[in-house]
Chains A and B, each alone.
Chain A
Amino acid sequence: MTVAVPTSLSDALAAIAQNPAAQIIQGGTDLMVEINFNRRKPTDVIALRRVLELREWSIAKDGSTITIGAGLPYAQMEDDEIARLVPALAQAARTVGSPQIRAAGSIGGNLGTCSPAGDALPVLSALDAIVHLRSSTGARNISVHEFMVGVKRNARAPDEIIVSVTLPIVTGWQGYAKVGVRNAMVISIASCCLAVDRTNSAIRIALGAVGPTIIRCRATEAWLTSQLDLSSVNTVSTNLLKEFGDRVAQEAKPIDDHRSTAVYRRHAVSTLAKRLLTRANTP
């Protein structure tokens, strides 16, 4: 039984290379629940809490992208600079759990768990984020769409550490909305990220908690692009809004489970998407 608490990324990579079966822990807000309830009993653990490199964030020299360390707690994404550059991510971060959870939980952990209800994930999907993985022998930069393989399954190899994610900095409205049983401390029953990208004349929509993994509404995006002038604020007619909601609902693939029903989820995700489209077009 060992607990390694490395203080640099290279030491952490060496530790996982030596023992790929070891369990990685960052904030512990997913993993400790599993351990407390005896669903997992790790023998070896590598804790990343003291690897400061994983808590950094930076903007590319040309200002086109932002890279966020896998271990940066949500609390540090809620406001200030990150919120200004990627508002949808800040909004998603603010909806996570409670202050105690946001002081510990991270994007690395959200990706590591890869729950379809993970609140950072629809934002990463809508913005076509790149996930940076490292092992002691190399590095892989893969699209978040390739990274998320299925319900709580991802493309990380056992000896890899998720180091960071890179998101584009775009002009245009973006937002995140979710529904749960109450406002504080709630896992999403349905969620949606909508991002207008004026630079590339595109609109991007991703749905959470309504499928085995995050769903990108590519058909609806293509249709909507033909209906709106993405370089300005549009008057969204009631008919257009209704058709938009119906198309989003069509692309969702929800199921019944202990948190909600498929019927409600489909309705909720369509309502959330319509709300976001309305906000995006409010001058």
Chain B
Amino acid sequence: MTPNTEVYQLNVNGKKCEVRDAWIGESLLYVLRERLGLPGAKGACEQGECGSCTVIMDDQAVCSCLVMAATAIDTEISTVEGLSVDGKLTDVQDAFVNEGAVQCGFCTPGLVVAVHNLLDTSPTPTDIEIKEAISGNICRCTGYGRIFEAVRSAAATRQETNK
């Protein structure tokens, strides 16, 4: 199909969102933030290197800055805004807070999305799997130690609650 570029629809966080008067080359990151009022995904490098714009598209973590928004019709997109079901922090967000994994917070939304994706697909990750899963997310503040601990703790808590 050929969507009319003046109006196309995206499925974001379970809702149909209309995008109007957009230029076709706009990235999903730009459309989420500037057109759909979802500023959770952050833009820094816009070249796939920092991971701060990570979203889930059809069950996979991708850089929204590298997705051409108009081509993402008919995909299911979840952003950090869509992770929480009841307005409370998710288990991963709780773990980030409790372990002190947030300093300036710029990298946090991208990491939280990447970690949700990891734990949803691999509930008991090994240390190597954790490192690999967050290798596409850059943090300039923490040195990663506390982020790593937060992921381990979120995985452990999820194991406990699912028992």
- Residue positions of A touching B, CB distance < 8 A: 1-7, 25, 27-29, 31-33, 35-37, 41-43, 45, 47, 49-50, 75, 97-101, 103-104, 184-185
Contacts and interface: CB of A to CB of B under 8 A. Distances in A.
Contact of A45 (B24, B27, B54): B24
17 contacts: A3-B2, A3-B3, A6-B1, A33-B46, A33-B47, A33-B66, A35-B25, A35-B68, A36-B46, A37-B47, A49-B71, A98-B51, A100-B62, A100-B136, A101-B48, A103-B60, A104-B63
A4 B133 CA distance: 32
A97 to B, nearest CB: 7
Given A2-B2, A37-B46, A98-B135, A32 B65 contact: yes
Interface residues of B, number: 33
A32 B31 CA distance: 14
A100 B117 CA distance: 11
Interface string B49-67: 1010010000011110111
Given A3-B71, A25-B68, A36 B47 contact: yes
The dominant DSSP class at the A interface is loop
B135 A1 contact: no
A32 B66 contact: yes
A7 to B, nearest CB: 8
Contacts of A98: 48, 51, 135-137
Contacts of B127: none
A3 B62 contact: no
User: Which 3 interchain pairs have the tightest Cβ spacing?
Assistant: A98-B136, A47-B71, A184-B135
Nearest to A49: B71
Contacts of A45: 24-25, 68, 70-71
B24 A185 contact: no
Contacts of B68: 3, 25, 28, 31-32, 35, 45, 47
Nearest to A2: B2
A5 B74 CA distance: 10
A29 B71 contact: no
Given A2-B24, A97-B48, A99-B61, A32 B67 contact: yes
A185 B46 CA distance: 14
Interface of B: 1-3, 5, 8, 23-25, 27, 46-49, 51, 54, 60-63, 65-68, 70-71, 73-74, 114, 132-133, 135-137
Contacts of A101: 48, 63, 66, 136
Nearest to B75: A49
A7 B49 CA distance: 30
B48 A29 contact: yes
Given A33-B46, A33-B47, A100-B54, 19 more contacts: A1-B5, A1-B24, A2-B2, A2-B5, A3-B5, A3-B8, A3-B70, A32-B68, A35-B25, A36-B27, A45-B68, A47-B71, A97-B136, A98-B51, A99-B135, A100-B48, A104-B62, A104-B66, A185-B136
Nearest to B8: A3
Contact of B24 (A31, A42, A97): A42
Q: Which of B63, B71, B133 neighbours the largest number of chain A CB atoms within 10 Å of its CB? A: B71
